[in-house]
Structure 1
Amino acid sequence: MPCPVARSLEEVGEWWSILILRDAFYGLTRFDQFAQSLGIAPNMLTRRLKGLCDAGLLERRLYQERPPRHEYVLTDKGRDFRPVLWTLFAWGNRHLAPEGESVVLTDPETGEAVEPVVVDGRTGRPLAKGVRVVPGPAATPGIRSRFAPRTAI
């Protein structure tokens, strides 16, 4: 499906994949670390790590030869997921934490809580409202018709 949301979900939309990426941002790199942090079955973790490597979000690197052991490190593509994860943090804290925030994003220099927002990279303007989705240059005819202006009857 040529939709960017659908394509993104194909890569990272599975529950465990996002949690593995979260833990990678926390600094975890080794299979046993992920398994302990997540309480995930080894076969499921193996599949998710392979999927994230195949998608180019993580890179599998040998760190010990005997016995062979690998670590999983974020690639540039994986690190580009960071703002998405921080936005999920903020949304979850705002809407899904009636007992209060269990994890807070902070500025590393000041220790002050931060509130992530999505902004236009060219203007710096927040994109919370007033954004419209339109067909792009590679849009299929189906996408173009989906976003064609609607005429009231």
Structure 2
Amino acid sequence: MSELLLDRSRCSVAGTLAVVGEKWTLLVLREAFLGVRRFADFQRILGAPKAVLTDRLAGLVDQGILRRVPYQAEGERQRHEYRLTRKGIDLFPTLVSLMEWGDRYLADGDAPLEIDHRDCGARVHLTLTCDAGHPVDGVRDVTSVRRG
């Protein structure tokens, strides 16, 4: 199929990047996957400017990727923490893929962080399969099909 016939204005990659394709957004998601929930903790770990972090968290909430949940420490005012939604959790393979690519091409020596399977302790790797269960090794194993 000619690449000129594809309608790139409806591209899912471009749409996804519009939502999560900014450095601070991806780093917020990384920390959320690692269990960070509170604004002060995000700011301390990331070193993001307060205004930038506020904007990125609000954007992730607006997109339904994070949800704000109230909490109140004893003797303090009510605050909110940020928890991943199902939509947010579904971004996990995307971050694993970015991490694996960085480990392969940017890490100097051992990977700085490994993700292990909680049940058996083995390292987790991202794999692609087709709907029939066959492994897909790379771009040469697929063909693009226009839908709709």
Q: Do these two structures clear the TM 0.5 threshold for a shared fold by scoring above it? A: yes
Q: 1:72 aligns with which of 77, 82, 88?
A: 82
**SS where residue 31 of structure 2 aligns?**
helix
**In 2, are the aligned partners of 1:87 and 1:117 still within 8 Å (CA)?**
no
Match of 1:93 among 85, 97, 103: 103
Aligned equivalents of 1:38, 1:104: Cα separation in 2: 19
C-alpha distance in 2, partners of 1:91/1:30? Answer: 28
Deviations 1:17-55 (A, max 9, x none): 111111111111100110011011111100000011111
| Greater CA drift, 50-59 or 101-110 | 101-110
Q: Secondary structure at the match of 2:128?
A: coil
Identical-residue share of aligned pairs (%)? 40
Q: Deviations over 1:57-103 (max 9, x none)?
A: 00012112952300100011000001111111111111111332111
Structure 2 equivalent of residue 12 of structure 1: 20
In 2, Cα distance between equivalents of 1:55 and 1:126: 32
Within 2, Cα distance between the matches of 1:11 and 1:119?
A: 26
Counterpart code for 2:144: V
Amino acid at match of 2:132: T
Partner of 1:135: 146
TM-score (norm 2): 0.85
Alignment RMSD (CA, Å): 1.6
Aligned match of 2:118 = 108
TM-score scaled by length of structure 1: 0.82
Alignment of 1:11-50 (within 5 A): 11-50=19-58
Structure 1 runs of 4+ aligned residues shifted over 3 Å read: none
